[in-house]
Amino acid sequence: MNIIVLMKQVPEIEKVRFDPEKGRLDRSSAGATTNPFDLNALEAAVSMGPMKAEEMLRDAIARGADRAILLSDEMFAGADTLATAYTLSAAIKKIGSFDLVICGEKTVDGDTAQVGPEVAEFLNIPHVAFVEEILQVDSCSITVKARMERSSYIIRLSLPALITVTKDVNNPRLPTLRDKLRAMRTPITIWGYKDLAEVADPRYFGFEGSPTRVVKVYTPTAERRRGQMISGQPEEIAQKIVQVLLENKVL
Amino acid sequence: MAAALKTGLTADCVDLDLDDDGNLLQIRPAFSGNIMAQIKTRTKPQMATVRYRVMKPLNRDPCRRGEVIVREAEVPEGTGIEILDKVEIMGVNISEADIIVAAGRGLKSPEDFKLLQELASLLGGVLGSSRPLVDSGWIGKEHQVGFSGNVVKPKVYMAFGISGAPQHLFGMRDSDIIIAVNKDPSAPIIGVSDYYVVGDLYEVIPPLINEIKRVKGLVK
Amino acid sequence: MPSSTLNTVIEDLKGIVGERWVITQRELMESYLRDETPDPVRPKPAENLVLVKPSSTEEVSLILKIANDRRIPVFPVGGRTGLVGGSVPTEPGIILSLERMNRIEVDRDNLMAVAEAGATLGELIKAAEDAGLFFPPHPGDEGAQIGGLIATNAGGARAIKYGVMRNYVRGLEVVLPTSEVLWLGGKTLKNNVGYDLMQLIIGSEGTLCVITKAVIRLFPKSKYMVTLVIPFNKRSDALKSVPAILRSGVMPLAVEYVQINEVLEAARHLNESWPVQRGFAQLIIILDGMSQEEVLGACEEISKICEANNALDIFLAETSEEQSRILRIRSNIYTALKPNMVDILDVTVPPSRLEELMDEVDAIGSKYGVYLPAYGHAGDGNLHVHIMKDAGNEHVAKKIKDEIYEEAIRLGGTITGEHGLGKIRLENLQMVLSEKHLDLLRSIKRVFDPNNILNPRGL
* The pLDDT value given to residue A20: 46
Q: With CB atoms and an 8 Å threshold, state whether A59 touches C318.
A: yes
* The pLDDT value given to residue A39: 56
From first CA to last CA, the distance across chain A in angstroms is 48
Residue B69 covered by a domain: no
**The CATH number of domain C104-220 is 3.40.50.10210:** no
How far apart, in whole angstroms, are the C-alpha atoms of residue A185 and residue A181? 7
* The pLDDT value given to residue C261: 94
Residue B175 covered by a domain: yes
- DSSP state letter for C268: H
* Least confidently predicted of A118-127, B87-96, B116-125, C375-384: B87-96
| CA-CA-CA-CA dihedral for C329, C86, B192, C123, to nearest 10 | -60
> pLDDT for C258-271, tens place per residue?
999 999 999 988 87
- DSSP state letter for C126: H
DSSP reduced 3-state for B4: helix
* The pLDDT value given to residue A23: 45
Residue B38 covered by a domain: yes
Contact B141, B94 (CB under 8 A): no
Please check the confidence at residue B91 and state whether its pLDDT lies above 70.
no
Range B193-214 average pLDDT: 92
How far apart, in whole angstroms, are the C-alpha atoms of residue A208 and residue C265? 53
In single-letter form, the type of residue at position B30 comes to A
* Chain centroid to CA C309: 32
The alpha-helical segments, DSSP class H, found in C175-231 are 197-201
Residue count (chain B): 220
* Residue C323 to chain A, least CA–CA distance (Å): 10
Range C290-319 average pLDDT: 94
Q: DSSP E strands: which ranges in B121-175?
A: 126-129, 156-160
Range C412-426 average pLDDT: 94
The answer to whether residues B6 and B101 belong to one domain is no
> pLDDT for B6-36, tens place per residue?
899 998 888 888 888 888 999 887 776 667 7
C17's CB contacts (< 8 A; 6+ apart) are C52, C53, C54, C55, C59, C63
> pLDDT for A1-48, tens place per residue?
788 888 887 766 555 555 545 444 455 545 556 665 555 555 445 666
The region, left, alpha or beta by phi > 0 then psi within -120 to 50, assigned to residue B91 is: left
What is the percent of chain B with per-residue pLDDT over 70, rounded to a whole number?
95
**The CATH number of domain C334-435 is 3.30.70.2740:** yes
**Residue B17: strand pairing partners:** B25
Range C84-98 average pLDDT: 96
The answer to whether residues B131 and B45 belong to one domain is no
* The pLDDT value given to residue C384: 95
Q: With CB atoms and an 8 Å threshold, state whether C269 touches B135.
A: no
* The pLDDT value given to residue C2: 57
* The pLDDT value given to residue A132: 87
**Residue of chain B whose alpha carbon sits nearest to that of A11:** B31
The answer to whether residues B140 and B192 belong to one domain is yes
Print the domain residue range for B196: 94-215
Smallest Cβ–Cβ distance between C315 and the set A171, A174, A184 belongs to: A174
Domains C224-327 and C334-435 in one fold: yes
Best probe of the C interface among A174, A178, A185, by most C CBs < 10 A, is A174
Tell how strand A151-158 and strand A141-148 pair up.
Answer: antiparallel
Most confidently modeled range among A35-39, B111-115, C141-145: B111-115
The answer to whether residues B43 and B123 belong to one domain is no
**Residue of chain A whose alpha carbon sits nearest to that of B157:** A245
Q: Model confidence at C18, in pLDDT bands (50, 70, 90)?
A: very high
Q: How many domains does chain B divide into?
A: 2
> pLDDT for B35-82, tens place per residue?
778 899 988 899 998 876 667 677 888 888 888 999 888 877 788 888
Question: Residues of chain A whose pLDDT is less than 50?
Answer: 20, 22-25, 29, 43-44, 222
Smallest Cβ–Cβ distance between A177 and the set C132, C314, C320 belongs to: C314
Backbone angles phi, psi at B37, to 5 degrees: -120, 140
CB-count burial class (<10 Å; 0-12, 13-18, 19+) for A177? buried
Residue B63 covered by a domain: no
Q: With CB atoms and an 8 Å threshold, state whether C23 touches B186.
A: yes
Residue B59 covered by a domain: no
Smallest Cβ–Cβ distance between A155 and the set B81, B98, B211 belongs to: B81
Q: Which residues of C touch B135 (CB under 8 A)?
A: 338-339
> pLDDT for C20-66, tens place per residue?
899 998 878 888 998 989 989 999 999 999 999 999 999 999 999 99
Per-residue CA distances from A134 to A6, A36, A104, A131, A146 (Å)? 18, 19, 14, 7, 9
**Residue of chain A whose alpha carbon sits nearest to that of B86:** A153
The ipTM value here is 0.74
How far apart, in whole angstroms, are the C-alpha atoms of residue B158 and residue B180? 6
Residue B76 covered by a domain: no
A219 touches chain B (CB under 8 A): yes
The Cβ-side half-sphere exposure at C264, using a 13 Å CA radius, reads 10
DSSP reduced 3-state for A175: coil
> Topology of domain C3-100, per CATH?
3.30.43
* Least confidently predicted of C85-94, C243-252, C387-396: C387-396
- The full set of domain ranges for chain C reads 3-100, 104-220, 224-327, 334-435
Q: Which residues of B touch C23 (CB under 8 A)?
A: 184, 186
* The pLDDT value given to residue C202: 97
Which is more confidently placed, B89 or C203?
C203
How far apart, in whole angstroms, are the C-alpha atoms of residue C198 and residue C48? 33
Which is more confidently placed, C339 or C135?
C135
Query: Candidates 3.40.50.10860, 3.30.70.2190, 3.30.479.30, 3.90.190.20; correct CATH number of C224-327?
Result: 3.30.70.2190
Q: Model confidence at C312, in pLDDT bands (50, 70, 90)?
A: very high
- Give me the CATH code for the A3-204 domain, please: 3.40.50.620
Q: With CB atoms and an 8 Å threshold, state whether B135 touches C143.
A: no
- The full set of domain ranges for chain A reads 3-204
Best probe of the A interface among C245, C315, C326, by most A CBs < 10 A, is C315
Q: DSSP E strands: which ranges in chain A?
A: 3-7, 9-11, 17-19, 24-26, 32-34, 45-48, 68-71, 100-104, 127-137, 141-148, 151-158, 161-165, 189-191, 212-218, 228-229
* Residue B33 to chain A, least CA–CA distance (Å): 8
> pLDDT for B170-193, tens place per residue?
789 889 899 999 988 888 899 899
C297's CB contacts (< 8 A; 6+ apart) are none
In single-letter form, the type of residue at position C86 comes to G
Look over chain C and give the mean of its residue pLDDT values, rounded to a whole number.
93
Q: With CB atoms and an 8 Å threshold, state whether A175 touches C316.
A: yes
How far apart, in whole angstroms, are the C-alpha atoms of residue C258 and residue C239? 10
B175 touches chain A (CB under 8 A): no
Please check the confidence at residue B101 and state whether its pLDDT lies above 80.
yes
How far apart, in whole angstroms, are the C-alpha atoms of residue B189 and residue B164? 4
Q: Which residues of C touch A36 (CB under 8 A)?
A: 319, 321
Please check the confidence at residue B93 and state whether its pLDDT lies above 90.
no
Range C136-157 average pLDDT: 88
The answer to whether residues B45 and B101 belong to one domain is no
